[in-house]
Amino acid sequence: MPESVRYDRQWVYSAYGETKDPEVLKELVDAVRALEIGEKSEWITEDYTDILTFTFADGDTLRLEFEDQCWVKADDERYEVTGLDQVRTILEAILPETQ
């Protein structure tokens, strides 16, 4: 289980938030694990990207990137994803209230 997550929102505007709350982290990890990966996509979206950076106790990090309704792998391949609405609902609560 990660110790923290940083969420970078790169939509038409940029924002970020962080949390170490174990309940939020568990809910977020469960939502990410529940995502269903579909077909490969050739679509690129430039103004609707979510980046999650999980940090673990040993200092390792895991970066996940989502564009619109696609997961972007480290090699820039994109795959359609079902279930991102739940992930984004959790991420919304991580952002500061000023957004």
d(CA 90, CA 47): 20
Closest CA relative to residue 18, chosen from 73, 96, 98: 96
Amino acid at 70: C
pLDDT digits (tens, 9 = 90+) for 40-95: 999 998 889 999 999 999 999 999 999 999 999 999 999 999 999 999 999 999 99
Confidence class of residue 97 from pLDDT cuts 50, 70 and 90? confident
Q: Domain-by-domain residue ranges, the chain? A: 4-94
The overall pTM is greater than 0.95: no
d(CA 62, CA 47): 22
Locate all alpha helices (DSSP H) within the chain, ordered by sequence.
Answer: 22-33, 84-94
Amino acid at 77: E
